[in-house]
Amino acid sequence: MSGIGGIINSNTAGQLSENMYEALKARGADTYGTYMSKEMCLIHTGYKQSIGDKQPTRAVFGQKACVAVLDGELYNSKELQDELAKLGHKLLDTTDAAVVAHSYMAWGKSCPERMNGNFAFAVWDGEGVFFARDHLGVCPLFYSVGSYGLVFASSIKGILAHPQIEPIIGEEGILEILMLGPGRSPTSAIFKNIKELAPGECAYYKDELEKTTYWRLKAKPHLDNHAQTVETVRYLLTDAVKRQATKSGRVSNLFLGGPGCIALASIAKVNSYSINFVGSPQSNDNEDAKRIILGSDELADALVGAIEARGLPGMADIDAALLIFLQKISENAVLVSTGADEIFGNHSWYQDEELPDTFPWAQNVEYRASFINKDICQASPQEYVRHRYERAIQAASTLYDDDKNETRVRQLFNLNLGWFLQTQLSTNDSMSAKVRIRTPFLDHRLIEYMYNVPLEMKTSLLHDAFQLEKTPAREKNPLAKAQNPGYTRRVQDMLKDILHTNAPIFELVSKKALSDLLETQTINWYGQLMAYPQTIAYFLQLNAWMENYKIKLG
């Protein structure tokens, strides 16, 4: 990954650029570039192997000129260059950032629609700034608009580097953290006055912000038979893997078990790794995978480093495990199967006959609400969750000809991509600046196709397309979740230590509820990804985040 940022319409933009660089260099500190003009600046940080590491990139075409910064990668760069050449663009610089700049000059605000990739970028055209995020939201992009103009950055910390933007969370932020966390509502960045650009969204800022959704899932009749569907899935996934595996650098594969990982390994002939834990009840590596073994203390000690990387409380030891893993490998890109379960219907909630009453991965609404310090939150937590869930369900594109089950499956598909998947993508993006995580299952062409495939076809497609065994020999361990009793004891002890202090977490969370948590081991916090030890670790991360970011309530 790399870091991008900018300050627009501010007479202190140049002075503040150094502050933003310091905040962004965790996303890459080998290269640093700025572009400054009257009352604006663009910033890019990265590592030497980052694509387009001579940014910001200036491009000229006829009377037009612009400057671009890019975090991420384009996987159809060559096709875009060919289209641009037909329009008369001569690209002496063929980096992805240059392609972005010329694409904006050629197609304007519709340019993201033509791109295939994981990206967040900004383009200054001399009057205003255009910025966009990829279709699925693989790369983050945060922003804030106020009397100080526009501030945008790849990380929340980059936004908070501006002295007029304080680390304040209000009632909504509290409810996001405790009722939805580690997930977030689309566009929510927890902090007051900070938002995240949504997946498939772009914006233009001159004197005010104008946002546009350039991509969303659309319901269509699925007319292909099973054999045709298998062939299409085989082509789309194979093409996505090849584009991403051959993009640049030394690439490996993270093998966590399950049909998605097995299909990925069968396409990409690269080195494989697996993550395992001392004392784990199961192993999910294949015979060729190099095993990375993590211990309980190593994992617990990395919890704070994980929130520093993510910028928010996250998926606890899942984040920590990925952070450590990426520090241990020598490759600079890793293929992962993120999204496979969501798009091929492998989550258990797809099989239920009725739509759940709330987010299926966080159904214990009353349990979550019991942790909130009632003195600082007057709104109804239950109503907050209900409102968010109903809006999310209603946002799904459906057909009038869909029966009840088809509508339910589309709603769950859309819910998974817009909410559940985003939590995993935040982990993937933030845990290493030197290793780029690539997600071939999230090629938007495959997503668009699979949205309309009936559920009865979905679940067998990977097996049929890649001749996989119907029952994989090794059970999937989702995102390498710790299951060692030693880890549970360690995080329990860490929580006990906090209970004897005036830790900042007690501004938000009931001390009694946290004390009771030590005795209650039956309720999951975030589906199968966050069971009892991960719940404790989440609160440990919340406390460290409040302390390190000097969080204010207001």
Query: Considering 190, 213, 236, which residue would you say is the last residue of a domain?
Result: 213
Angle, CA 360 vertex, CA 181 and CA 544 arms, to 5°: 15
The DSSP annotation for 87-142 comes to TT---S--SHHHHHHHHHHHHGGGGGGG--EEEEEEEE-SS-EEEEE-TT--S--E
The DSSP annotation for 347-368 comes to SGGGG-SS--SS-TT---HHHH
Q: At residue 524, what is the residue type? A: N
Same domain for 142 and 225, yes or no, is: no
Beta-carbon contacts of residue 263 (< 8 Å; ≥ 6 apart): 237, 337, 340, 462, 465, 466, 468
Same domain for 105 and 205, yes or no, is: yes
Facing residues of 153 across strands?
5, 142
Same domain for 369 and 235, yes or no, is: yes
Same domain for 481 and 464, yes or no, is: yes
E strand segments, 220-289: 251-254, 271-277
3-state secondary structure 83-96: HHHHCCCCCCCCCH
Same domain for 201 and 234, yes or no, is: no
Query: Considering 187, 213, 239, which residue would you say is the last residue of a domain?
Result: 213
Give dist(CA 522, CA 532) in Å, integer.
7
> What CATH number did the domain enclosing 465 receive?
3.40.50.620
Same domain for 175 and 311, yes or no, is: no
pLDDT per residue, tens digit, the chain (554 aa), is 899 999 998 888 878 888 999 999 889 878 889 999 888 999 999 887 555 458 999 999 999 999 999 999 999 999 999 999 999 999 989 999 999 999 999 999 999 999 999 999 999 999 999 999 999 999 999 999 999 999 999 999 999 999 999 999 999 999 999 999 999 999 999 999 999 999 999 999 999 999 999 999 999 999 999 999 999 999 999 999 999 998 877 889 888 878 898 899 899 888 889 888 887 655 554 667 888 888 999 999 999 999 999 999 999 999 999 999 999 988 888 999 999 999 999 998 999 999 999 999 998 999 999 999 988 988 999 999 999 999 999 999 999 999 999 999 999 999 999 999 999 999 888 887 788 899 999 999 999 999 999 999 999 999 999 988 654 444 455 555 566 788 999 999 999 999 999 999 999 999 999 999 998 877 889 988 899 999 999 999 999 999 999 999 99
C-beta separation of 252 from 484 below 8 A: no
Same domain for 148 and 116, yes or no, is: yes
The β-bridge relationship of strands 251-254 and 31-37 is unpaired
Same domain for 411 and 545, yes or no, is: yes
Domain count, the chain: 2
Same domain for 207 and 227, yes or no, is: no
DSSP state of 505: G
Angle, CA 190 vertex, CA 186 and CA 193 arms, to 5°: 95
b (16+ CB within 10 A) / e for 468-501 = beeebebebbbbbbbbbeebbebbbebbeebeee
Give dist(CA 237, CA 261) in Å, integer.
12
> What CATH number did the domain enclosing 131 receive?
3.60.20.10
Per the structure, the complete domain to which residue 81 belongs is given by 3-213
Query: Considering 189, 213, 237, which residue would you say is the last residue of a domain?
Result: 213
Same domain for 77 and 188, yes or no, is: yes
Same domain for 227 and 188, yes or no, is: no
Same domain for 254 and 309, yes or no, is: yes
